[in-house]
Structure 1
Amino acid sequence: MRSRPNASELARLLADHITRLAPELLPHGKKDSSEWRVGSLAGEPGQSLAVRLSGARRGVWADFSSGERGDALDLVAGCLFGGDRKQAMAWGSNWLGLSKTTNAALIQRRPIQEKLNNSQELDKEAQQRRAKARRLWMDTSAGIAGTPVEAYLAGRGIDLRALGRAPGALRFHPAVWCAEVRKPLPAMLAAICGPTGKLVAVHRTWLAQSPSGTWAKADLQNAKKVLGGFSGGCIRLWRGVSGKALDLAPAGDVAIVAEGIETALSCAIACPEYRVLAAVSLSNMAAMKLPDTLTEIIVAADNDTGNASARKALDAALSQFAQQGRTVRLAMPEIQGQDWNNVLTYHDKDTGPERS
């Protein structure tokens, strides 16, 4: 007879105790209806990471900022062991009382929890992640013309030649470390900037080339991740008719705000007269720090009909923009499950969001 359950069985058993496990792993989170909410696997307060506490999907979690997701065993691995599931299995068996192991390495609480009790340590860790993001950004050369990034976007129907220039917020890096496959992969990088234009984080989209030579997102569980904290920031993809930086936006400026990079670029192709920003995640959209001179916001949303949590985050963003005294318009594709990149790809660009 096996002394321990296998990974899938252990994940199920941990999920059965998720109401106790989640607060123990992420003590700085808060219960929100049927979810435990926290900033990230690092454990800081926030809303980006949600762990399901009840129902058939209990134990399932997702970080809407980084794109990471998994089951209860993955949660243990990510919180305690840097993603190592083998160590997580040993710890989980011990935590559930299925193993008599008393090795301190298995029963210790994760080291970062000690640090989270000290705000200075948490700030230090955030600064280190931001510094790492800046080093990654500076390790690349400006311009994406002729690179796999340009080819990848063209494959998504985004021809940057229609804009006359490529957004300076995008770069190509030939070898960015990917923890999922434990090796560097080519990647599209995007600069996430705060209100003053200072880089605070870097969004990574890992790419892969097919045998036919085309470029697409790498076949990964999480092909998109963010390095660094970015609450309140955004990716400044297009300056619109004014041509001015976001913090110098003229009075009466109009901006399109989308969730992802490809959706936002599709909007820029369709509506080059408007400023275009990518919020990176729906949960961050309401937190974006925008200048008062942006008097009108067009939210180019994905059609996530039926997704209650996505609609809740979208409504929060719409409400926040309205409370700031801005005119707010919602533009959403008619077909469920589609975004504005789908519209650009399958229809004439004259069906852009300003006409929806």
Structure 2
Amino acid sequence: MSGSASELAHRLGEHAEAVCREYLSNGHRAGNHWIVGDVRNTPGRSMHVRLNAVGCKAAGKWVDESSGEYGDLLDVIEQSCGLVDFREVADEARRFLAIPRPQPRIDGAQRQPGAARGSPDAARRLFAMSQPIAGTLAERYIAGRGIMLTARERALRFHPGCYYRDLVTGETQTLPALIAAVTNLDGRITGLQRTYLSSGLDPNGKIGKAQLADPRRSLGHLLGNAIWLGHQPGAAVPVMAAGEGFETMASLRTVMPALPVAAATSANHLAGLTFPPGCRRLYIAADADAAGRHGIERLSQRAGEAGILCLALRPQLGDFNDDLRHLGPAPLAAWLRDQLVPEDARLFLPSG
């Protein structure tokens, strides 16, 4: 790194232990090193951060002996906070160092962000920085909602310390988050949805959403795209289901694991969903309330204009995740059977 980036890295290195205590709080000091699991602040002993310069070896440099990753303290801030562009990383470093934010330079020498905030590139970076959900809080959160998905579902990942900014106060914190990729029909990530999670158990002994005003946030290009489960990029999809929420659609896929489903993340995005090639029947998952009625009606109209038979699936309770959790998978499957075309019921629902 050069210019302002290298200067910030050097300044952070002068306070390496303080930086580690702030951003790698799950580690500890051992001699001239801070020991932690990895750059995302996972507990463990694989990553070593040099706390004081030794000869030509600068303070603040680190290496992860398990993964082979290495870097400086700017990388620590980026990864542990879940930041997705350099501007945010630099701002957080300056906040820690109490350095005023510099005025923009016109000579082009200042480092440019690697990905614009909220862009598809930013979404792809954050998804790449995350990890598979197996054995994580995200897996426990999903299982606690009765949702069972196979390891082949590639749309879901987990970030142990995802950056969260309160839009009212401006205060920031890092929280564990379920990361769901929003993709186009070719499988390219265009955005994502973050569900911020509590790090402790709720009164029912399960992992719930973080206690925030808005524990779910999206970024990137969402219109026309969706969180796809069970869809092979570019493949024809004769029959599918679509709805707003991830938990709703994942609940349907739990009882109909061969049915491709799409979660559009909002009513407006549901209305603009792009139909996959070869689609002949579209089931739309409706909630018991009328909040998403506009999206359903608009999507139904567009489907009819495209020659696609559109059918509504209605839950018994508030939504299909309520049905799955409170009634169970077998009663939910039985409830759905009468709402499906007989051919689809035979194909997608277990017999009996």
- For Structure 1 versus Structure 2, the TM-score category normalised by the shorter chain is 0.5 to 0.7
Alignment partners' CA distance in 2, 1:341 and 1:182? 31
Note the 1:93-104 alignment, pairs <5 A. Answer: none
Alpha-carbon contact 2:165-2:173 (below 8 Å) kept: yes
Query: Is the aligned partner of 1:355 residue 2:342?
Result: no
Q: Which has the larger radius of gyration?
A: 2
Asked if 1:171 is matched to 2:157, the reply is yes
Tell me which residue corresponds to 1:283. 268
1 or 2, which has the higher helix percentage?
A: 1
SS of aligned partner of 1:168: coil
* Residues 336-347 of structure 1 mapped to structure 2, 5 A cutoff: 338-347=318-327
The unaligned stretches of length 5 or more in structure 2 are 1-113, 340-352
- Partners of 1:146 and 1:355 lie apart in 2 by 36
Q: 1:130 aligns with which of 120, 128, 134?
A: 120
TM-score norm. by structure 2 comes to 0.58
Amino acid at match of 1:196: D
In the superposition, relative to structure 1, how do residues 347 and 166 fare at CA in structure 2: closer, same or farther (>3 Å)?
Answer: farther
Is 1:145 aligned with 2:134? yes
Partner Cα distance (1:293, 1:131) in 2: 29
Aligned position for 2:239: 254
Residue number among 228, 233, 237 corresponding to 2:229 in the alignment: 237
Mark the CA change 1:326 to 1:221 in structure 2 (over 3 Å): closer, same or farther: same
- On the 8 A contact 1:189/1:204 being kept in 2, the answer is yes
CA distance in structure 1 between the partners assigned to 2:216 and 2:152 by the alignment: 21
What is the letter of the counterpart of residue 236 of structure 2?
A
Total equivalences in the alignment: 218
Gaps of 5+ in 1: 1-123, 240-244
Pick closer, same or farther for the CA change 1:354–1:193 going to 2, 3 Å. farther
Q: Could you tell me which amino acid in structure 1 is paired with residue 299 of structure 2?
A: A
Q: In structure 2, how many angstroms separate the alpha carbons of the residues matched to 1:355 and 1:235?
A: 26
Cα distance, 1:125–1:354 mapped onto 2, change above 3 Å: farther
Q: Distance in 2 between matches of 1:303 and 1:348?
A: 18
Contact kept? 1:129, 1:227, Cα under 8 Å: yes
CA contact (8 A) 1:286 1:321 kept: no
Equivalent pair of 2:230/2:258 in contact (CA under 8 Å) = no
Equivalences for 1:190-339 in 2 at 5 Å?
190-210=180-200, 214-239=206-231, 245-249=232-236, 253-305=238-290, 307=291, 310-335=292-317, 338-339=318-319
Q: Give the aligned CA root-mean-square deviation in angstroms.
A: 2.3
Contact 1:191 1:199 survives alignment (8 Å)? yes
Partner residue, 1:80: none
Map Cα deviations across residues 188-215 of structure 1 (whole Å, 9 max, x no partner).
0011012322111111000013357631
The 3 A distance-change label for structure 1 pair 230 and 146 is: same
Distance change >3 Å, CA 266–CA 152, structure 1 → 2: same
Q: Normalization by structure 1: what TM-score? A: 0.57
Q: In 2 relative to 1, CA 128–274 (structure 1 residues): closer, same or farther, beyond 3 Å?
A: closer
Give the fraction of aligned pairs with identical amino acids, expressed as a percent. Answer: 30
Question: 1:331 touches 1:354 (CA, 8 Å); kept in 2?
Answer: no
**Is the contact made by 2:118 and 2:219 (CA closer than 8 Å) also made in structure 1?**
no
